[in-house]
Amino acid sequence: MTLTLGFSPCPNDTFIFDALVNGRVDTGGLRFEPVLEDVQTLNRWALEGRLDVSKVSYGVLPLVTRDYVLLGAGGALGRGVGPLLVARPDRADFHAERATVAIPGEHTTAHLLFSLACPHVAEKRFLVFSEIERAVLAGEVDAGVIIHEGRFTYQAKGLVKLLDLGEHWEAETGSPIPLGGIVARRGLGAPVAREVDRLIRRSAEQALAAYPLVTPYVQRHAQEMDEAVMRQHIQLYVNDFSVEMGEGGRKAVRRLLEVYARTRPATALAGEDVFLEG
């Protein structure tokens, strides 16, 4: 059986999936066709049910649980890993109710965390994450929510931090920050989904056991990124939760779903349990 597998070209994802997609994990009768896209595209495709297995933002999870189940391995959760709200120094006097803010996608976790912290923003503009710093620097928006390597580079580009949205989440909930997880199509059946979960866990374990080695596969997809930033990216977003979210991770996801229901009451969650059991 060949399964389409979507993940981003960001170093944390390529680091986790490298061994799986490049033949260093025995996949038995399963084969994987990797599809690398930005997380906003992967979220949209999950809404369309396009891929068999995919990385998604936890912000889109409530909208796809009818068709997908959440796996335990391969995701990004942790503390001190959240998105940042940034601005130019001359716009650091931030008032959400009068501000236009760029956000990396409507159905991203970053949007959900921003909505929790700043529920009364005047206007939101949804952009691909790589365009947000440029929009802020050009004065097209008053502030922007940055993710991924933006945490490490925004100061060098002349931006200032207004709010750490992850710190706000942790203070409000006491839970680690659920950023992105791996979902599998329910139609594959639980035995196949459990096997995919096992293989992703094995791939992540191999990568972490070999670190600080970073393979050419990871470096190639991060070719426009400074090596030190690439390593910071891996160290920040790949951790024990990436091997298995465990009960602590599940608790954090449940809290996020509660916040989602509170901030988007018009959107009903699908009835299925979101987690892969067994």
pLDDT in tens, the chain (278 residues): 999 999 999 999 999 999 999 999 999 999 999 999 988 899 999 999 999 999 999 989 999 999 999 999 999 999 988 899 999 999 989 999 999 999 998 888 899 899 989 999 999 999 988 899 999 999 999 999 998 778 888 999 999 999 999 999 999 889 999 999 999 999 999 999 999 999 999 999 999 999 999 999 999 998 778 899 899 989 989 999 999 999 999 999 998 988 888 777 666 554 458 999 86
Fold of 2-77+177-263: D-Maltodextrin-Binding Protein; domain 2 (3.40.190)
Does the annotation flag 196 for ligand binding? no
CA distance 14 to 8: 7
- The domain locations on the chain are 2-77+177-263, 84-173
Whether 2-77+177-263 shares its CATH topology with 84-173 is answered yes
Residue 161 annotated as part of some ligand binding site:
no
Which structure tokens are listed for 121?
């923003």
User: Which is catalytic among the residues 107, 111, 148, 168?
Assistant: 148
Q: Are 125 and 101 in contact (CB under 8 A)?
A: yes
In this structure, how many other beta carbons lie within 10 angstroms of the beta carbon of residue 12? 28
84-173: CATH, from 3.40.190.290, 3.40.50.720, 3.40.190.10, 3.30.1370.60: 3.40.190.10
Which residues lie closer than 8 Å to 158 by C-beta, 6 or more apart? 88, 89, 137
Say whether 130 counts as a known binding-site residue. no
95 is annotated as an active-site residue: no
252/258 Cα distance (integer angstroms):
10
Considering only CA atoms, give the Rg of the chain. Answer: 18
Judge contact between 42 and 7, C-beta under 8 A: yes
Q: Which among 150, 220, 183 has a CA at the least distance from the CA of 70? A: 183
